[in-house]
A and B are shown apart, each in its own frame.
Chain A
Amino acid sequence: MEQALLKINHLHKTYGDQVILKDFNLEVNKGEVVVIIGPSGCGKSTLLRCINALEDIQGGEVLLDNEAVFKEKKNISKMRQKIGMVFQSYELFPHKTILENILLAPIKVQKRNRAEAEKEALELLTKVGLADRRDDYPRQLSGGQKQRVAIVRALCMHPEILLLDEITAALDPEMVREVLEVVLSLAKAGSTMLIVTHEMAFARAIADRILFLDDGEIVEESSQPKDFFKQPVTDRAKAFLKTFDYE
């Protein structure tokens, strides 16, 4: 049997009295693209943030390669290097050029050779069509370009899994596509990804598996994204998908 790359066991997350995730379980296999959808406040972004320990959790565990992500403070940097994360608001470092943004962590955290890391960074930038912007600052780029740089920055660390947290939610509609094309090509190349998104058409196209989350629980799960979007089983999923239709 195939060993899951990412395992979430009995994850419990609360903010004060408010329960965000209750007894949450999930396994993601290597090369799998899992898309999480659901209404706002359902806990999907919090779930991603719990996976790389940006949020503390009240119970359960997150395992990557069977190793706990936040067993101890010393270990956390090593584990986070294996988990790439891209945020809705890009979060490039405004005082560094595009190239320096990408190289900072490989050089300082992974202690890689600058020339070698730079070569890889430029190859990746070329793939997303931004090699000529290497010396620009983030403020000179459009939202879609910044988000592509943020993806490259995460990829340059050679993560085993990528977490994409509503990466097109802050973008103008015409820029959504250029970013999602990049993600699609990553999926084709076999990257393991956990994606939170509101782009239903994109979810249908890219997902190996769809999770519909509501109130901190998986309400519906489907390995047949096309069927799920055509004919969801649960009422809650039906109601949710209906909100995207205009007739």
Chain B
Amino acid sequence: MQSLGIDVLFKGTNFLRLLEGLWVAVRISLISVAISIALGLVMGMLMTSKNRILKMILRLYLEIVRIMPQMVLLFIVYFGTTRVFGWNLSAEYSAIIVFSFWGVAEMGDLVRGALISIPKIQYESAQALGMTPSMTYLYVILPQAIRRLIPLSINLITRMIKTTSLVMMIGIVEVLKVAQQIIEANRRSSPNAVFGVFAVVFLLYFLICWPISKLAGYLEKRWA
């Protein structure tokens, strides 16, 4: 049987480098996810407001994010804005900006959906007990909305983690880029590394995303 080429990972610091690359990907996603959740909550509440102009602007923002491929956004921010505006933006910051820009819009829409899915009479039931609007939100509406939100937002989080593989296109050395480098460097001695190393990369993504989506399934069942 031919070798799978996994052995190259045990040469020198190759495996450690791969893990470092993974950390870069995870770090970009973690920061972007944190920003997306915080601002997404605000965005979602604003999207349920009665102000039509505000709603239209937010709607437009959401549509732009949905229509634009993330890669195009990365190129615009990293190559485009740095040239036109002349500022100095590192690739990693560009990635975080793009992923947050995407995450806030999508999270906002999820929050909006969760908020409007709470029946109006739940608000009324709380008010009939003398609760003020802020108490109603805090104790009755938000806890219910967040329960509906968590499975959906975890889905978004895993999508964001997977999509960080694009950031190597703007020169960030994350796990996929490291894998490519290792494969290139060992092309002669172990040509099969192209299979083994990418398989390990797959496994690493799986190890990160799978527990997260299991958690979503668990919460969905528990709070159904």
A20 at the interface (CB under 8 A from B): no
Residue from B122, B129, B147 having most chain A Cβ neighbours under 10 A:
B129
A93 at the interface (CB under 8 A from B): yes
B125 at the interface (CB under 8 A from A): yes
23 CB-based A-B contacts, threshold 8 Å: A54-B124, A54-B127, A77-B131, A80-B128, A80-B130, A81-B129, A81-B130, A84-B128, A87-B121, A87-B128, A91-B121, A91-B122, A93-B122, A95-B143, A95-B144, A95-B147, A104-B129, A104-B139, A105-B129, A105-B131, A109-B131, A110-B130, A153-B129
On whether the beta carbons of A108 and B124 are closer than 8 Å, the reply is: no
On whether the beta carbons of A109 and B135 are closer than 8 Å, the reply is: yes
> A77 — which chain B residues lie within 8 A by C-beta?
130-132
Given A93-B126, A109-B131, 16 more pairs with CB closer than 8 A: A52-B128, A54-B128, A77-B130, A84-B128, A85-B128, A87-B125, A87-B128, A93-B122, A93-B144, A105-B129, A108-B131, A108-B139, A109-B129, A109-B130, A157-B129, A157-B130
The chain B residue sitting closest to A74, CB to CB, is B132
On whether the beta carbons of A80 and B127 are closer than 8 Å, the reply is: yes
A226 CA / B30 CA spacing, docked (Å): 71
> A92 — which chain B residues lie within 8 A by C-beta?
125
Interface residues of A (CB under 8 A from B): 52, 54, 77-78, 80-81, 83-85, 87, 89, 91-95, 104-105, 108-110, 153-154, 157
B212 at the interface (CB under 8 A from A): no
B140 at the interface (CB under 8 A from A): yes
The chain B residue sitting closest to A109, CB to CB, is B130
> B121 — which chain A residues lie within 8 A by C-beta?
87, 89, 91
Residues of B contacting A: mostly: helix
The chain A residue sitting closest to B138, CB to CB, is A108
Q: Which of B95-127 contact A (CB under 8 A)?
A: 121-122, 124-127
10 shortest A-B CB distances, which residue pairs? Answer: A91-B125, A81-B130, A105-B129, A85-B128, A80-B130, A109-B130, A77-B130, A95-B143, A54-B124, A77-B132
> A85 — which chain B residues lie within 8 A by C-beta?
128
The chain A residue sitting closest to B146, CB to CB, is A95
> How many Å from the CB of A237 to the closest CB on chain B?
30
> A110 — which chain B residues lie within 8 A by C-beta?
130
A109 CA / B139 CA spacing, docked (Å): 11
> How many Å from the CB of A45 to the closest CB on chain B?
12
The chain A residue sitting closest to B124, CB to CB, is A54
A84 CA / B129 CA spacing, docked (Å): 7
A157 CA / B121 CA spacing, docked (Å): 19
> A153 — which chain B residues lie within 8 A by C-beta?
129
On whether the beta carbons of A105 and B147 are closer than 8 Å, the reply is: no
Q: Given A87-B125, A91-B125, A78–B143 Cβ distance below 8 Å?
A: no
Partner of B130, one of A89, A91, A105: A105
Q: Which of B120-163 contact A (CB under 8 A)?
A: 121-122, 124-132, 135, 139-140, 143-144, 147
> A105 — which chain B residues lie within 8 A by C-beta?
129-131
> How many Å from the CB of B149 to the closest CB on chain A?
13
> B125 — which chain A residues lie within 8 A by C-beta?
87, 91-93
The chain A residue sitting closest to B143, CB to CB, is A95
A92 CA / B119 CA spacing, docked (Å): 12
A95 CA / B143 CA spacing, docked (Å): 7
> B131 — which chain A residues lie within 8 A by C-beta?
77, 105, 108-109
Residue from B125, B139, B143 having most chain A Cβ neighbours under 10 A:
B125
